[in-house]
């Protein structure tokens, strides 16, 4: 009796995506850097930031309905920011050491509230995101002014959308080396600011890294837009946005057997113009933004 091989593997294809392994515990380090020059009416406003966090993740056991949770707890957090000659620094080891930034109190309260809390993501039997929420809740403990700054980032709906975006980066079906797919990512930047980027991912095949066989995916930003939500507390509106990624490269090294990313990196430079409208007056704005992100598994 003859059989015809029809599996994806037989045609040089592979399915790539996260796996929820019951009882698995991992730790990861995330580093995010940003450098921005905002030129408004000929005046440059420089700002920089660097965030580092170590996060512990634990996958629970599926219940009778097939649902399972993944708990993520920030164990360490360091934040450094500078703008217009003023500095802000937060270290979870010494959280009360104040800096010179004008809104130090607001930021420090937010970062202190983040420590010791766990974000719990619930997945259904098909591994689709059902909900994400902090336990205990963060927003209810913050003053109103702080909630205005980060409510669009830390609300259950915002956290759920972020978790869905993380999964959407992976292909929906089996891919071959050289295959590409696009994803639109909406990034909440706080205070109602939203940056939307279209990212093209490409499967580059399997690579050997220190004796470990990993799937390599590269990425590049192909379109950028910026705007404000209707409920933004900022005293201006944004129009005539013309932005593009002038430098862009990203990489994911994925352990397909374990179903998790070993490392991820992304470096993007966004440049362009837009108009800020304040009191019916249009101000031309020039943006030069560099974003560098890296994430890796640690012991």
Q: What is the pLDDT of residues 7-31, one digit of tens each?
A: 444 457 999 999 999 999 999 999 9
Task: Write out pLDDT tens, residues 78-95.
Answer: 999 998 889 999 999 999
pLDDT recorded at residue 10: 47
Task: Write out pLDDT tens, residues 126-176.
Answer: 999 999 999 888 888 888 888 877 877 888 998 999 999 999 999 999 999
CB distance 142 to 105 below 8 Å? no
CB distance 179 to 212 below 8 Å? no
Domains in the chain, number: 2
Going by pLDDT thresholds of 50, 70 and 90, the confidence category of residue 230 is confident
Task: Write out pLDDT tens, residues 265-298.
Answer: 999 999 999 999 988 888 999 999 999 999 999 9
For residue 13, is it within any domain?
Answer: no
pLDDT recorded at residue 1: 34
Mean pLDDT (whole number) for 210-231: 94
pLDDT recorded at residue 149: 78
Boundary (domain end) residue, out of 119, 153, 168: 168
Task: Write out pLDDT tens, residues 53-72.
Answer: 999 999 999 999 999 999 99
pLDDT recorded at residue 99: 75
Percent of the residues in the chain that have a pLDDT greater than 70, as a whole number: 96
79 shares a domain with 214: no
Residue 202 has pLDDT above 90, yes or no: yes
Domain hosting residue 150, numbered range: 19-34+46-168
Contacts of 213 (CB under 8 A, 6+ apart): 206, 207
Q: Give the closest residue to 118 by CA, choosing from 69, 166, 168.
A: 69
Mean pLDDT (whole number) for 29-36: 96
Q: Which two tokens stand for residue 75?
A: 């164990």
Percent of the residues in the chain that have a pLDDT greater than 90, as a whole number: 72
Residue 3 has pLDDT above 80, yes or no: no
The per-residue pLDDT of the chain, averaged, comes to 91
- Rounded Cα distance between 17 and 6, Å, is 21
Contacts of 125 (CB under 8 A, 6+ apart): 62, 65, 66, 67
For residue 222, is it within any domain?
Answer: yes
**Residues 6, 7, 9, CA angle at the centre, nearest 5°?**
130
Q: Give the closest residue to 36 by CA, choosing from 45, 26, 28.
A: 45
231 shares a domain with 281: yes
For residue 182, is it within any domain?
Answer: yes
pTM: 0.90
pLDDT recorded at residue 187: 85
Q: Which residue has the higher pLDDT, 106 or 3?
A: 106
Strands 193-209 and 180-190 come out as: antiparallel
For residue 67, is it within any domain?
Answer: yes
pLDDT recorded at residue 11: 54
160 shares a domain with 25: yes
30 shares a domain with 150: yes
Residue 178 has pLDDT above 90, yes or no: yes
Contacts of 237 (CB under 8 A, 6+ apart): 228, 276, 277
Contacts of 64 (CB under 8 A, 6+ apart): none
């Amino acid at each position: 009796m003859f059989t015809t091989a029809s599996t994806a593997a037989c045609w040089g294809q592979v399915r790539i995506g996260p796996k929820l392994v019951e009882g698995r515990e991992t730790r990861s380090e995330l580093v995010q850097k940003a450098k921005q020059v905002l030129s408004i009416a000929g005046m440059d406003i420089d700002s920089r930031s660097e965030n580092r966090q170590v996060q512990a993740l634990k996958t629970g056991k599926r219940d009778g309905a097939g649902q399972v949770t993944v708990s993520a707890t920030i164990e360490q957090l360091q934040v450094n920011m500078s703008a217009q000659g003023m500095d802000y620094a937060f270290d979870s080891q010494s959280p009360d050491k104040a800096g010179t930034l004008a809104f130090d109190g607001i930021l420090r309260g937010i970062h202190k509230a983040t420590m010791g809390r766990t974000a719990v993501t619930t997945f259904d039997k098909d591994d689709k995101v059902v909900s994400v929420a902090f336990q205990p809740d963060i927003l209810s403990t913050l003053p109103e002014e702080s909630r205005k700054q980060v409510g669009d980032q830390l609300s259950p709906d915002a956290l759920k959308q972020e978790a869905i975006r993380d999964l959407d980066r992976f292909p929906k079906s089996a891919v071959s080396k050289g295959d590409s797919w696009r994803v639109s990512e909406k990034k909440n930047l706080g205070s109602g600011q939203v940056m939307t980027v279209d990212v093209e991912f490409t499967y580059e095949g399997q690579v050997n890294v220190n004796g470990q066989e990993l799937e390599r995916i590269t990425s590049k930003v192909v379109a950028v837009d910026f705007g404000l939500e209707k409920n933004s507390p900022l005293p201006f509106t944004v129009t005539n946005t013309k932005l593009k990624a002038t430098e862009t490269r990203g990489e994911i090294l994925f352990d397909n057997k374990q179903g998790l990313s070993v490392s991820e990196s992304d470096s993007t430079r966004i440049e362009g113009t837009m108009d800020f409208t304040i009191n019916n007056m249009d101000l031309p704005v020039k943006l030069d933004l560099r974003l560098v992100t890296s994430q890796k598994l640690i012991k």
